[in-house]
Homo-oligomer: A and B are copies of this chain.
């Protein structure tokens, strides 16, 4: 096959920032082959009001009119059940993102997942309104904490996910950017009773970059450094199995996270995040083709995400279909302009598949 139709594609974890970076990056959602994008709220300050999320969405639509943006709030003590009800009834948000404090870029306002109970009234309102709870699944380490490190922080978070799903079996929960064997196994376990046709309530998203990176790739290469960090070859195998499995509780969330090159080329305090948006589908196609599973790509990148979020495809900004076309190209070393420069994932590498809208 040299052409494959992927339908209405969706990326359920996208960072578009604000200001000059937003102006550069927002149009690249569509360029990368994505029709529907779920946008992260971790701006500075974080998005926690209806006015702000509506304004932000309008800015994004002005920059990329053919992209359908799904919006989110940032879980914080400012959120109330009343606010959730109002935001949902207005269609202002599709979910709420939870960042454990201090684990990644712009998570300083995050929460302590060891004490989720104070958010239970908010979660109840979300469950009632069919909103999605997006979890950055890493247990935050306290100062001088000997137990938690960047490699076990995700596995140590999984009991928190399990408890939450048990307490809110009808709340739609996503464990975002799964990076470990244990994370994949937990999502499998929580869906062990799944039968075709069932509604999925707890799912894992998986990025493009974690399908090709391991720890050796980010050690000494800040451009490949993100949170959660890429783990070991065995973990990568589990992730590839999951994305090509055709199981509806694994779907695409790129966690594409642009930083100015100055935030990466530092001798200390490097920004965490990998920018994949502009070639999102092309990166995925490489992995699926290598596994001889290109026939499963549409489910992972289109069907399952749209189903989970109950996206009404009659109300999209655009009904173009994304086509995958076999045509080699080289990822540029940088993208940007005079004001801002970003290094894309796999800069300089040759990729085999491009996208077209038809």
Kindly state whether residue A233 has any CB partner on chain B within 8 Å.
yes
**Residue in B232, B261, B266 whose beta carbon sits within 8 Å of that of A149 in the complex:** B232
Stretch at the interface among A36-44, A160-168, A214-222, A305-313: A214-222
Q: A141-B216, A216-B141 are in contact. Are A221 and B149 (CB under 8 A)?
A: no
**Do B264 and A267 have beta carbons less than 8 Å apart?**
yes
**Do B232 and A269 have beta carbons less than 8 Å apart?**
no
Q: A141-B216, A216-B141 are in contact. Are A221 and B269 (CB under 8 A)?
A: yes
**Do B141 and A223 have beta carbons less than 8 Å apart?**
no
Kindly state whether residue A151 has any CB partner on chain B within 8 Å.
yes
**Residue in B220, B229, B233, B270 whose beta carbon sits within 8 Å of that of A272 in the complex:** B220
Kindly state whether residue A340 has any CB partner on chain B within 8 Å.
no
Kindly state whether residue A25 has any CB partner on chain B within 8 Å.
no
Which residues of chain A from 224 to 241 have any CB-CB distance to chain B below 8 Å in the complex?
224-225, 229, 232-234
**Do A221 and B270 have beta carbons less than 8 Å apart?**
yes
User: Which residue numbers of A lie inside 8 Å of B, CB to CB?
Assistant: 141, 146, 149-151, 214-216, 218-225, 229, 232-234, 261, 264-272, 343, 347
Enumerate 8 A-B pairs (CB-CB under 8 Å) in ascending A order.
A150-B219, A219-B229, A220-B270, A220-B271, A220-B272, A221-B269, A221-B270, A222-B270
Extra 20 A-B pairs, beta carbons < 8 Å, given A220-B225, A221-B269, A224-B268: A141-B216, A146-B234, A149-B214, A150-B215, A150-B219, A219-B225, A219-B229, A220-B222, A220-B269, A220-B270, A220-B271, A221-B267, A221-B268, A222-B267, A222-B270, A223-B267, A223-B268, A261-B267, A264-B267, A268-B343
